[in-house]
Amino acid sequence: MAVLRLSAYYDDNFGHWGDESDDPEERETFRRHVERSSVEKKCQGCSRIVRIMPQYAYCDSCATKIERGEDVGWHDE
C-alpha cells in the first residue's frame, strides 16, 4: 500500500511552505515545532482567531498584505 506524503504544508504563521527540494525529515521536525509553539490568538489585521507563534501579531495572509503595502483593516485589540 502506498502512503501519500504531503510535500507542502499550510499554517497561519507562514502560509504555504515546503517543497520537494526540502529535506523531508527536517521539514517535518520544523512543522511539529511550529504546531507545538503556536497559540490561538486574534489576528490584529483581520480579527480572525488563528494559530500563530506567540510573538506574531498578524496571520500570514495579513502579513503578506502588509508587505505589499495593502490595508489589512488595522483592527484594535
- Provide DSSP, 33-46: HHHHH-EEEE-TTT
Determine, yes or no, domain membership for 27: yes
Nearest to 50 by CA among 33, 66, 32, 63: 63
Determine, yes or no, domain membership for 32: yes
pLDDT at residue 7 greater than cutoff 60: no
Determine, yes or no, domain membership for 43: yes
Helix, strand, or coil here: 61?
Answer: helix
Task: Give Cβ neighbours of residue 73 (< 8 Å, ≥ 6 apart).
Answer: 45, 46, 47
Number of domains composing the chain = 1
Q: Give pLDDT tens digits for 60-70.
A: 999 999 999 99
Q: Give pLDDT tens digits for 17-76.
A: 766 666 878 888 888 999 999 999 999 999 999 999 999 999 999 999 999 999 887 655
Report the alpha-carbon angle 36-40-46, nearest 5.
130
Q: What domain range is 16 assigned to?
A: 10-67
What's the pLDDT at 45? 94
Determine, yes or no, domain membership for 34: yes
